[in-house]
Amino acid sequence: MFNIPFVNRLSFLFFYLMSFQELLSDSLFTGIVLSSKTKQPISNVNIYTNQKSKGTSTNIAGEFSLQISNSDTFIVYEHVGFEILSQSIQLESKKITIYLDPKVISFSELKVIGENEIGKFKNLETKNMVSDIAVKDFSFRTYSDIGDVLMNEESVLIDESSRGVKVVSIRGARQEEMSFLYDGVPIYHDGRSVMDVSMFDIGGIDQVEVLRGGNEMFPGSSGSINFVPSINYGNSMSLYQRFGTYNTGNFNGGLSLGNEVLSFNIGSGKSKSVQYYEDIIDSDIIQSSNNNYINIGYRPSVDLELKLSHTKNTRSFKNYYRLGSSNSNNDISTFKIEKGSKKYGSIELYFSDQISCGEDNISIFQSNRNDKRLLTGLHYKYHHNNVFFRLNTKQSKASSNWEQDGNELSIDRKDIAFSSVFGVSQKKSKPGFEIKDFILSLNANNIEDRKNNESDLVYNANWENSGVNFLFSAWEHLDNSIIYIYSNFGNSFRTPSISERYSHAFRPAEWVSDSLLVESKMMREVGIKITSTGENLSPHFQGSMSYFSYLYKNKIKSIQYSASSMLFPLNNGEANISGVELNAELLDVAKIFNFRFIYSAFTYSDQLSFPMQPLNMLRNSIELNLGSFKAKVTFKSEGSRVLTTIGEEGLLENNYLDKYQSYDIHGSYILNYRDFDISVAIFGQNIGDNSQVLDGISIFDKRMYLSLGLQWN
């Protein structure tokens, strides 16, 4: 043993204490903040000490560094989308990993500022009006399909045809201006022109994102809907059965097996629904569907995930009065790689094979359609300090082979799209309104159509379009809320779809000289958002208001043949639409009562260019949450609408729907027993019984449903 003199030991102890005191007075803490559910990094987390004298926020990789003093005892981690976390300071841990729990609000939650942890639009939420609907909640199992969910939870318009096809439109624009995605990958619907959302079953979907206005991938769209597939890194099982009036019902079940690294999810469902003619007995319209899905996830590390998904949806329709029938099939197979890097940014690569086919035998039209599409794409994001860059590219090749009344069409469409985003984003540094974002987005696409047969229905064509969009935003942090204002404007173009080009060939002789041109669109929008940031012992509120204006040149409108799904489009010169959208939600301190208000009002240059679009829409809901028991009442109101059709003699006919008002009631109870959840729910739809008749078919009629469920986790 070495004999260290007492004086030397005392000197060593003195300098050690001095060094420790200096370390304590100015310590640097570093770490990373992750979601406890997805283990993914969370950006824009506000981090401060109990003295609130020093603070910081996480970067895009979820990392942070914070200087602390000897008077600081704990650190607070705060994000609008997650529960607030306070942790005492541990001197021995200078680099830590923090997990935040997602903030759960019953039914749909309107995201105002912050990031959705699993959706596609997490980087767009502060630039548009975005809602996330957690359809995995048992409360939604009483709905028949995604169309019913959107109609009851959002101020979007759902049009249901006599064939039971449900199409979505947002902000009064036509359904063709909508874009749809499956896990962030575009869904091909060029062959059918509009997407039938009734084909998507709730069973294999975790949540649905609804974005109003354009975005980086689809700058010209009036809205986007992203279906987020269910990938559960754990073990679970679910079975649901739904019964309803008019011999309506559905069944679906799902199984998930996995751990923190690997996930395997499989499920299947069937449904049947009935419409009827008002004055004709035993002449029902019956729709049935089958849905199957497989989702596989592999996450070997925090910053790498591989996904393989396959969904198959089939649908059939039979009209026993007009003796018409149709069926459709939709297959989507996608492989996706998501990789994040602190130094080089994050990247997503995807490959998607999509098939859509079907037959129609309706009225005087008979058709057989087969569409295939191979899609590849890349999304790249890089963030350095307060400057960021994003790049989106996609390339697709679609093949359409159709036959209608002896007329054959075989055409290939190649589509290359590109968009780049350059932006500056400032952190909050002082009281008062400050500039938050300034973003420039450039987009371009090249479309080439080449026919494969001698048909004269369509001709070879090329289109090259480009556009630009600007965004400016500012924000203010108050004691218990954040206020965010934004403005974006730009221009875009919409090329006629294959279906529109094909249908245009069957226009009446009166419009034989009409040619189908590219539709251009000038977009303007301003908005304000507010959300509370108080502690759990204060009420939670959030809301948004926006004004938008769309100016069209060479507006494409469609006129429908009576008693048929066949449309013919034509250019209608200039048109415009403007409107106001309001969203508000209030949750009391105890999180028992939840009130939600959604309102939209529109002004059209001419309603013929925007068929079946109401002048206003209203959704009010009050929810009661008593733990295992939930109850909800929703009031729905839509203004009058008009649909112009053309009869067999070539005359235009106006079909009117009166102003629609009704309310729905919903109640559910969940019994927990060990690892099992047993649930029962009732749903009353259109309780006001304000049914109407469109083309002889009763719509908006009163219906009642009972749902039973069993879930194991």
pLDDT tens, position by position, 381-407: 998 888 999 999 999 999 988 887 777
Radius of gyration of the chain (CA): 28
Query: 589-592, long-range: CB within 8 Å, 24+ apart, which pairs?
Result: 589/537, 589/538, 589/539, 591/105, 591/106, 591/540, 591/625, 592/624, 592/625, 592/626
Helix (H) or strand (E) holding 18: helix 6-25
Q: pTM higher than 0.85, yes or no?
A: no
Q: How confident is the model at residue 693 (pLDDT cuts 50, 70, 90)?
A: low
Contact 99, 87 (CB under 8 A): no
Q: What's residue 282's pLDDT?
A: 63
Judged against a pLDDT cut of 50, whether residue 114 lies above it is answered with no
Mean pLDDT of all residues in 112-139: 52
Mean pLDDT for the stretch of residues 411-432: 89
Work out the pLDDT band at 372, boundaries 50, 70, 90.
very high
- Greater confidence (265 vs 159) lies with 265
Q: In what order do the strands lie in the sheet with 82-88?
A: 55-57, 46-49, 74-79, 82-88
Q: What pLDDT was estimated at residue 110?
A: 32
pLDDT of residue 381: 92
Region 260-274: what's the mean pLDDT?
A: 90
Give tens-digit pLDDT for 5-23.
544 554 544 444 444 444 4
692 with 667: CB under 8 angstroms? no
The more confidently predicted of residues 17 and 454 is: 454
Which residues are CB-neighbours of 428 under 8 A, at least 6 positions away? 434, 475, 477
Quick one: tokens of 293? 């899905």
- Mind listing the pLDDT tens digit for each residue in 54-80? 678 887 778 888 877 777 777 888 876
Instruction: Report how far residue 143's alpha carbon sits from residue 137's, in angstroms, rounded to the nearest whole number.
Output: 12
Q: Is the confidence at residue 443, as pLDDT, over 60?
A: yes
Q: What's the full length of the chain, in residues?
A: 713
What pLDDT was estimated at residue 337?
96
* Higher per-residue confidence, 36 vs 578: 578
**pLDDT given at position 15:** 47
Structure-model confidence comparison of residues 604 and 2, the more confident one = 604
pLDDT at residue 10, as a whole number: 47
Which of 52, 54, 116, 32 is CA-nearest to residue 80? 116
Q: For the domain 6-100, what is the CATH code?
A: 2.60.40.1120
Q: Output 98 or 454, whichever has higher pLDDT.
A: 98
Q: How far is CA 332 from CA 181, 188, 428, 603, 704, in A?
A: 11, 9, 43, 37, 33
Q: CA 419, 425, 426 angle in degrees (round to 5)?
A: 175
Q: Is the pLDDT of residue 426 over 60?
A: yes
* Rounded average pLDDT over 19-37: 66
User: What is the reported pLDDT for 109?
Assistant: 32
Quote the pLDDT of residue 468: 92
Residue 376 has pLDDT above 60, yes or no: yes
Q: Looking at per-residue confidence, does 291 or 647 come out higher?
A: 291
Q: How distant, in Å, are the alpha carbons of 160, 258, 638 from that of 116? A: 30, 23, 30
Comparing 124-133, 451-460, 645-654, which segment has the lowest mean pLDDT? 124-133
Neighbours of 493 (CB within 10 A): 20
- Most confident listed range (242-251, 272-281, 493-502, 663-672): 663-672
Residue bearing the bigger pLDDT, 149 or 534:
149
pLDDT tens digit sequence for 299-343 = 998 889 999 999 998 888 887 777 778 888 889 999 999 998 888
Q: Indicate the helix (H) or strand (E) that contains 7.
A: helix 6-25
Fold of 109-462+469-712: Maltoporin; Chain A (2.40.170)
Asked if the model's pLDDT at residue 491 lies above 70, the reply is yes
Q: What does the DSSP 8-state code read for residue 117?
A: S
Which tokens sit at 408? Answer: 């054959």
For residues 377 and 395, the answer to whether their CB atoms sit within 8 Å is yes
What's the confidence (pLDDT) of residue 106?
Answer: 33
Residue 476 has a CB neighbour count (10 Å cut-off) of 16
Q: Can you give the pLDDT at residue 125?
A: 44
Give me the percent of the chain exceeding a pLDDT of 90.
24
Q: Where are the domains of the chain?
A: 6-100, 109-462+469-712
Q: One fold for both 6-100 and 109-462+469-712?
A: no
Confidence at residue 115, expressed as pLDDT on a 0 to 100 scale: 39
> Is residue 363 predicted with pLDDT exceeding 90?
no
Q: Is the pLDDT of residue 506 over 70?
A: yes
Which pLDDT score is estimated for 481?
A: 85
| Cβ atoms of 115 and 90 closer than 8 Å | no
Is the pLDDT at 450 greater than 60? The verdict is: yes
- On the question of pLDDT at 126 being above 60, the answer is no
Across residues 529-553, what is the average pLDDT?
84
Does the pLDDT at position 512 exceed 70?
yes
Q: Which helix (H) or strand (E) holds 147?
A: helix 146-153
Distance CA(576)–CA(72), nearest Å, equals 58
One DSSP character per residue, 600-625 reads EEEEES-GGGSTT--SEEEEEEEEEE
Please, what is the average pLDDT of the chain? 80
Q: Ranked by mean pLDDT, which of 85-94, 197-206, 485-494, 558-567 comes out on top?
A: 485-494
Give the pLDDT mean for 95-110. Answer: 60
